[in-house]
Amino acid sequence: MHLKYLVLAAVVALAVQANGAEQTNAPAPHPNTALIPVPRTGSATNRQTLVLKRAKDAPGDYDIEFIGDSITQGWEMRGSNVWKEFYGNRKVINMGVGGDRTQHVLWRFQQGQLDGIKARVAEVMIGTNNSNKDDNSEADILEGVTAIVQQIRTRQPETKILLLGIFPRGKTFSAQRGKILQVNQALAKLEDGSHVFYLDFGSQLIESDGSIARSMMADALHPGDLGYRIWANATEPKLKQLLK
């Protein structure tokens, strides 16, 4: 073989070998933590244990099961008056745990959170804690919430799911708000008109200049009585329809 062809062949071989080495040494894809079920730690385990026990001790038929984080748990505190007014005559169960992310809800499902519970409607709002800083991307959060919806469909096939858009947060416009809005746009696509229904009323929680009033959310995250009333009024028409 001519010398120049031998040299060319050697260069090509080295290039292929180097490319293979780069692929071998490439970092493994970053796992989506929003999909990996994990339990809570610290003081949050108290509430986690409580809601698991709540479901285990009172199985059976329910009109509505509420699934979420501290915003859902807040129905028992800041939203208690509105809760009595709208849900006092219905059989409901609150499965909200403050600080929960999608992975914590998935873990609770694995521990039997839905076992023995036959709810006509599951009202779900989760994901805001996943949106903190760079913990999870928009795609990560979407996958986490989607996994929760899929798990409910699998474990409670007769339950209708009312999936809520993640609430706006922060005193005014921010990158985090933008992340949440992008996730919500994709979550809307989960509605199938048969088992999964999507509802977003976040615009009712902010002012015309984009800010969040203290009367709505004192900490720009957790609703007060006014916020829970808006929540109840916004979901009531769809709940009535699904509970027929």
Active site residues: 70, 219, 222
| Identity of the residue numbered 222 | H
Phi, psi for 89 (deg, rounded to 5): -100, 10
Q: Show the 3-state SS of 115-161.
A: CCEEEEEEEEECCHHHHCCCCCCHHHHHHHHHHHHHHHHHHCCCCEE
- Rounded-to-integer distance, Cα 79 and Cα 58, Å: 23
Distances from the Cα of 65 to the Cαs of 17, 152, 186, 215, 222, in angstroms?
57, 11, 23, 27, 20
Q: In this structure, are residues 73 and 46 in contact, taking their beta carbons and an 8 Å threshold? A: no
Q: Among candidates 142, 217, 148, 223, which has minimal Cα distance to 187?
A: 142
